[in-house]
Amino acid sequence: MSLNAVIFDLDGVICSTDRFHFLAWKELAGQLGLPFSEALNDRLRGVGRAESLELILAGCSRSFTPAQKAAMCEQKNLRYRQLLCQMSPADLSGEARGALLALRRGGLLLAVGSSSRNAPFILERIGLGGFFQVVADGSQIARSKPDPEVFLLAAKRLGQAPQRCLVVEDAAAGIQAAKAGGFWAAGLGAAASCPGVDFPLRSLAQLPALCAANR
User: Which tens digit of pLDDT belongs to each residue from 106-126?
Assistant: 999 999 999 888 999 999 999
What is the distance between the alpha carbons of residues 139 and 97, in angstroms, rounded to a whole number? 26
Same-domain pairing of 76 and 129? no
Same-domain pairing of 39 and 94? no
What letter would DSSP give residue 47?
Answer: -
pLDDT at 138 over 80: yes
Predicted local confidence at residue 43, as pLDDT:
85
Give the residue-averaged pLDDT of 175-200.
96
User: Which strand (E) or helix (H) includes residue 172?
Assistant: helix 172-180
Number of CB atoms found within 10 A of residue 148's CB:
23
Same-domain pairing of 32 and 12? no
Q: Is the dihedral of CA 155, 156, 157, 158 positive or negative?
A: positive
What is the distance between the alpha carbons of residues 58 and 46, in angstroms, rounded to a whole number? 18
What's the domain range around 52?
Answer: 18-84
pLDDT at 26 over 90: yes
Mean pLDDT over the full length of the chain: 94
Predicted local confidence at residue 203, as pLDDT:
95
Predicted local confidence at residue 75, as pLDDT:
97
Same-domain pairing of 102 and 196? yes
164 confidence band (pLDDT: 50, 70, 90):
very high
Same-domain pairing of 115 and 155? yes
Catalytic machinery residues: 9, 11
Helix (H, G, I), strand (E, B) or coil at 201: strand
Q: How many domains is the chain built from?
A: 2
What is the distance between the alpha carbons of residues 17 and 25, in angstroms, rounded to a whole number? 12
Same-domain pairing of 157 and 172? yes
pLDDT at 71 over 80: yes
Q: Are 110 and 207 in contact (CB under 8 A)?
A: no
As a residue count, the chain comes to 215
What letter would DSSP give residue 11?
Answer: B
Same-domain pairing of 51 and 111? no
Predicted local confidence at residue 45, as pLDDT:
76
pLDDT at 55 over 90: yes
Same-domain pairing of 78 and 114? no
Same-domain pairing of 94 and 116? yes
Q: Are 123 and 84 in contact (CB under 8 A)?
A: no
Helix (H, G, I), strand (E, B) or coil at 184: strand
Among 61, 84, 107, residue at a domain's last position? 84
Burial group, residue 202, by CB count within 10 angstroms (0-12, 13-18, 19+): exposed
